[in-house]
Amino acid sequence: MRPEFVDALERAGQGEQLTKNDLITLLNADKDESRTLFEAADQARANTLGDEVHFRGIIEFSNHCMKNCLYCGLRRDNKVLARYRLKPEEIIEGARETARLGCRTLVLQSGEDSNYSADMLGELIVRIKEELDLAITLSLGDRTKNDYGLLKKAGADRYLLKHETCDADLFSYLRPGTCLEERLERQIWLRETGYQVGSGNMVGLPGQSLEILAGDIILMREMGIEMAGIGPFIPGKQTPLAKASGGSLELSMKTLAATRLAMPGAHLPTTTSIASIHPQGRVKALQCGANVIMPNMTPRQYRASYMIYPGKLGLQDTPEDSYKRAVKAVNDACRTISRGYGHSLKYEKAV
C-alpha cells in the first residue's frame, strides 16, 4: 500500500481531521487498498454509532417538478413521464403502513411541487406526529425560509437538501437557473431554523474529478451536515445526460467510506441508487460505513413514475416487500435493526 494511503488511514484512526489531499488519496485507492479502506470505515462506524441500522420509510408523494436538472428524470421538460400527486389521505395511509412495519422515521420526498403548500404539508405533519409519533424528514427541494419555518413548527425534524456537487460551475451547468451559493444558503437557513440537516452528492457526474469529490466531503464537514446521501449518478434516458457514462459502484463505495472517516458521527444511508446498480449494493454499502437504510413506502401503482433514474430497485414491490428487502440486507450484513428514531448525535446530546 502507498505510504500516503497508510498515513491518511492512521490520521483518521487517531481522530485527526483529514485534509483534501488525504481524501483524494483514499478515493484513489486500488483494489487492495480499497479493502483496507472499507474495513477502516466500517470500524469507524461501529466505534461511533454501533451496529444498529436505522430504518427510514420513504414516501415519494409527487413527481411534479418545476426544476429542469440535466441529470434527473423528473425534470420539467420530460414530457414522456406520467405525472402524479398523492392525495393527503394517501400520504397518511402510507405513514400508517410505515409505522406498522416498524420504521420510526418517515421521509416525505417529492419534486419541487408548489401544489403542496407549506400549510398543507404542515397539517399532514401535525396529523402524522400526533397519530403515529414518527420522526419526519423532508426532502422537498428549494423552498422559502418562511416555508422551512412553518414546516419545522409543524413538527418536521430533519430536512435533506443535497448540494450534489461542490463545483460551482458544474452545479450551475447541471441545474440550469440555479447556483451553488443559494443552495448552501438554504442549508444555513435550515440549520438556523432548527432542523437536523442532510446533504449529499452524486458520484460519477460528467466533468467530476477526485478533487471535486474530496471537496464534496470537506464541504459537508464544514457545513456541519448530520446525514449525507451518497450514490452513483445513473443517466436517465429522458434527460440531456442520457449518453453519459454514469458512476461506478467501486467509486461510490470509496466515497462513502472516505466520508465516514471524515465525518465519523454522520448518518450515512445505503442509497437506492447503489442498490440499483448492483444486487448486493446495499450490503456492500453497509459494510463500508453506511448505517441507514430507506425502504420505499410509496404505493406500488406510483413507483414506476418516480423515475429519477432508470433501473430503480423495487418498482413492483409493495411497501411490505420493500421493508423485507431492507431487513434481508441488514441481516446479510450481520447488523441489527434499530428501534429508535435515529436522530443525529448532536441532537441526542442536546436533549
Domain 3-350 has CATH 3.40.640.10: no
Q: Report the C-alpha gap between 286 and 329 in whole angstroms.
A: 8
Residue 76 CA to residue 293 CA, distance in Å, equals: 29
Q: How far is CA 258 from the centre of its chain?
A: 16
Q: How far apart are the first and last CA of the chain?
A: 43
The Cα-based distances of 305 to 194, 238, 309 in angstroms read: 33, 13, 10
In whole angstroms, how large is the CA radius of gyration of the chain?
A: 19
Q: What is the pLDDT along the chain (351 residues), one digit of tens a residue?
A: 999 999 999 999 999 999 999 999 999 999 999 999 999 999 999 999 999 999 999 999 999 999 999 999 999 999 999 999 999 999 999 999 999 999 999 999 999 999 999 999 999 999 999 999 999 999 999 999 999 999 999 999 999 999 999 999 999 999 999 999 999 999 999 999 999 999 999 999 999 999 999 999 999 999 999 999 999 999 999 999 999 999 999 999 999 999 999 999 999 999 999 999 999 999 999 999 999 999 999 999 999 999 999 999 999 999 999 999 999 999 999 999 999 999 998 877 665
* Cβ proximity of 282 and 326 under 8 Å: yes
C-alpha cell at 50: 454501533
CA 264 to chain CA mean position, Å: 16
Beta 105-110 vs 135-139: how paired, if at all? parallel
The pair phi, psi for residue 61, each rounded to 5°, is -90, -10
113 to 63, 189, 199, 340: CA distances (angstroms): 8, 20, 20, 31
3-state DSSP call for residue 256? helix
The residue type of 311 is G
- Helix axis angle for 249-262 and 20-27, nearest 10°, is 150
**Cα separation, 98 vs 80, whole angstroms:** 30
Asked if residue 215 lies in contact with residue 202, where contact means CB atoms within 8 angstroms, the answer is no
Sequence ranges of the domains in the chain: 3-350
* pTM for this model (two decimals): 0.97
In 3D space, the residue among 301, 269, 261, 282 whose CA is nearest the CA of residue 45 turns out to be 261
Q: Which three cell numbers stand for residue 209?
A: 474529478
Q: Are 274 and 249 in contact (CB under 8 A)?
A: yes
